[in-house]
Amino acid sequence: MSEVARDKTRVLVFPCGSEIGLEIHRALCYCVHVSLVGASSVVSNHGRLVFRDYVDGLPYVDAPDFIASLNRVIEDQRIGLVYPAHDSVVLRLAEAEAELACPVIGSPRATCTICRRKRATYERLYGVVRTPIVWEHDDPEIPFPAFVKPNVGQGSRGAFAVRSRDELAAAILGDASVLVLEYLPGDEYTVDCFTDRHGALRFVGARERVRTLDGISAHTRPVRDVVFETWARHIHETLAFRGAWFFQVKRAADGELVLLEAAPRVSGGMGLYRNLGVNLPLLSVYDRLGMDIAIEPGAFPLEMDRALCNRFANAFDYSDVYIDLDDTLIVEGGVNSLLVAFIFQCRNRGIGVHVVSRHAGDLGETLRRHRLEGLFDSVVAVDALACKSVHIAGSKAIFIDDSFAERKRVHDALGIPVFAPDAIECLLDWRR
């Protein structure tokens, strides 16, 4: 995209704290043509720590007043597009799009309805691609191990192997909709795809799910095999998609691929191809705005590994930051890049940043050598026996130093918040 309007489109992501919502945030938050708003039904969710514009308290998606409440948010926040970030929300918004105050990014209602139910998906794609064998619960010929999963579900919730008739009976107790499927012991893959508004399949990117955690692809890497493109074309020709979508497959005991699911939404692992130059959530926004897009994936080697990350909500206010130099800002001859990110965050907000140091050499020369000159509002060389607190002004300051003794002396003298370098992460604001 080289020629696009500079006016920002406000995009509402709901629910914004899901893994899908967080990937949509990562994909869109740096785009100068998009302004993000996160929304949630749950007060305690990660989205409030990454979306600068954030709304919670929406009813759950199956509540009678959900659409009316969502429309109020759309109007209050001047939303131009809604981006659903959960399977149930994908379907609910597709069903109610005519009632909504703005368009929804996603596929047609019929596709969303089929893909929300595994049995319907397998029935629709039977004979198109290889689908898993599905047994009735009382079939005496069920081989073990078998695999059970909810007909309507997401991730790996409620999906597991059963190795006996007793385990199967316990698994299906109270839920007649649970599917009993053939056990697939081989490697698992996700194939990320993109279909434009003209109905053309524009991108197919397969990746191996090397390690998964609760249905999330924790370690994933690209794979290139024409079979994935063939499968994508077959599924695309059978179901009408628009924007980002994906399907998952797993190898059976005979080594052949078998379909697990198809989904008309962003996958949490699409960040791999985003970093290879194919930002599928952003392309979906552009396509929904009627823009033609070009796709040029990178060919360099790249793998993605994911783990829990920390984000913090801090309630203290400060107007100045005082930072030690040796072993805090400069560590083992290199610059602490995370601390520099925090320094620029402060500068962007008009917060004063100062160096207070007992550096043995020439402070100015050391800062110049590390390309840090001009970054600070003041640079103070502290006498060997003096407490750094005498150079810290005001009660709305914070202090960062690697030395526990220095931090204690400053805190005892001034009562201000003090932080070690390992606590810088709690000062960073990731909201955009």
How sure is the predictor about 3, in pLDDT bands with cuts at 50, 70 and 90? very low
Structure confidence at residue 172 (pLDDT): 86
Number of Cα atoms under 13 Å in the Cβ half of residue 392: 31
Is the pLDDT at 186 greater than 50? The verdict is yes
How sure is the predictor about 4, in pLDDT bands with cuts at 50, 70 and 90? very low
pTM confidence score = 0.92
Is the pLDDT at 154 greater than 80? The verdict is no
Q: Among residues of the chain, what percentage have pLDDT more than 90?
A: 89
Pick the closest to residue 127 from 247, 241, 259 (CA basis). 259
Q: What is the pLDDT of residues 15-35, one digit of tens each?
A: 999 999 999 999 999 999 999
DSSP per-residue letters across 24-92: HHHHHTT-TTEEEEEEES-SS-GGGGT-SSEEE-PPPTTSTTHHHHHHHHHHHTT-SEEEE-SHHHHHH
Q: What is the pLDDT of residues 63-98, one digit of tens each?
A: 999 999 999 999 999 999 999 999 999 999 999 999
Pick the closest to residue 324 from 193, 421, 422, 428 (CA basis). 421
Is the pLDDT at 185 greater than 60? The verdict is yes
Structure confidence at residue 188 (pLDDT): 97
| CB contact at 8 A, 155 and 87 | no
Is the pLDDT at 1 greater than 60? The verdict is no
User: What are the residues facing 174 on neighbouring strands?
Assistant: none
Q: Identify the H or E element spanning 94.
A: helix 87-95
Structure tokens at 196: 């434009």
Distance CA 237, CA 233 (A): 6
What domains can be seen in the chain, in order of their start residue? 9-105 (3.40.50.20), 114-125+185-297 (3.30.470.20), 134-182 (no CATH), 320-427 (3.40.50.1000)
The more confidently predicted of residues 394 and 10 is: 10
Structure confidence at residue 394 (pLDDT): 77
Pick the closest to residue 326 from 336, 316, 312 (CA basis). 336
**Which class for 393: exposed (0-12), middle (13-18), buried (19 or more C-beta within 10 A)?**
middle
Structure confidence at residue 330 (pLDDT): 97
Distance CA 265, CA 93 (A): 12
Dihedrals φ, ψ of 26, to 5°?
-60, -35
